[in-house]
Each structure stands twice: as structure tokens, then as C-alpha cells.
Chains A and B, each alone.
Chain A
Amino acid sequence: GQSLEQPSEVTAVEGAIVQINCTYQTSGFYGLSWYQQHDGGAPTFLSYNALDGLEETGRFSSFLSRSDSYGYLLLQELQMKDSASYFCALNTGFQKLVFGTGTRLLVSP
């Protein structure tokens, strides 16, 4: 099977940079995705890495290292609205995602 580990909670201040790590175990996958979920809301797609390296989308960047079974999401210029839960997910098939347990990010003024 597959499993993903993330820190349960991360705290940071407005304007700072924060990195949310994700380590995984899998026998095979197509890529690693990141989703944001505000309390009571639906997950929204942030980023996807099919290949090793860094993908940048505005203030968010995501990194994947298949040799290390490791990825991370980097959030820059943090804003209060970034307070949410962040999930990494392995893409194991056309419509099959395996999610981590999520990291709760708390941004303080």
C-alpha cells in the first residue's frame, strides 16, 4: 500500500516563509499533488509534481525528490488567509489519489 507522513501542525507569522514536508512510501506513483483546505471547506488544488524538482505557482512552490521519497510545499509571503490545512497526495492512477493526514498551518499577525 501507500502511506504519507506530514507534520500535524506548523505555525508562522505573516510575511514569513514556511515549508511543509511530506514523506511517503509507495510501490509506484505518477506524481505528488498538494491541496489546501480551509475549515469547513472543500480541498482546492495548489500544485503538482510529476518529475523531480521545483514547480512554482505564484507564492506557492512544490518540490519532489523520488530518490528520497520526499516532497515539500513552500509558501512565501504568508498571509492570514493562508491559515488552513494542507494535504499532500500521491497520484496512483487516472483518478486515484492517496492523501496524507494533513498539516494545519496557523499564521499569526
Chain B
Amino acid sequence: GDSVTQMEGPVTLSEEAFLTINCTYTATGYPSLFWYVQYPGEGLQLLLKATKADDKGSNKGFEATYRKETTSFHLEKGSVQVSDSAVYFCALTNRDDKIIFGKGTRLHILP
């Protein structure tokens, strides 16, 4: 079945560092891909999405590009802030209505 694999955390970076969180997927057909973010004590919220190959999703300085050839959707940000500390989830939806999440990557940003 469809699945999402993302790098295990925690990831600890200093403020203004470059961030990459890797995500790869296994799916038939052409899934839609998402990154969600979860701040402490809250539910998940959508960060960005891409619906077809080579699409780039972006929001709040974060970017991810849908790479069908490598089945990847890596999350990047050029300069992280302390306020970016959270748990990040990669996810996909496919032909059915199910939303499949990766296990999440905890990010700590040090001032």
C-alpha cells in the first residue's frame, strides 16, 4: 500500500541555519503531497502542498518540490527561526480518501 517515509529526528539547528527534512513516498499513480506542522499542544495544520510532478509548494519561507523521478518531497528553508520549532509531517493522498502521514520529524531551533 501507499506509504510515506521521513527522516527521523530530532533535528537540532541554530537560528538562521539551512533546513532540510527528507521525505520519500511509495504510491501508485499520481498522489498529492503535503507538509503539515504541529506546534506544541496543537493539532496539525497544513504548511504547503503540491499536486503534480515538478510542482513547488511554498509557505512561510518553506519550500518543497514534487519529484516523481525520485519519489521525494523534501522540505527546505533557507534560514530557520526559533519559532519554527515544531514537529513536521510529510503526507500524501491518493485515489481513495485516505490521508497517509509519515512518523513526523521534531525540529529544535536554538537561539
Q: Do A and B come from one complex?
A: no
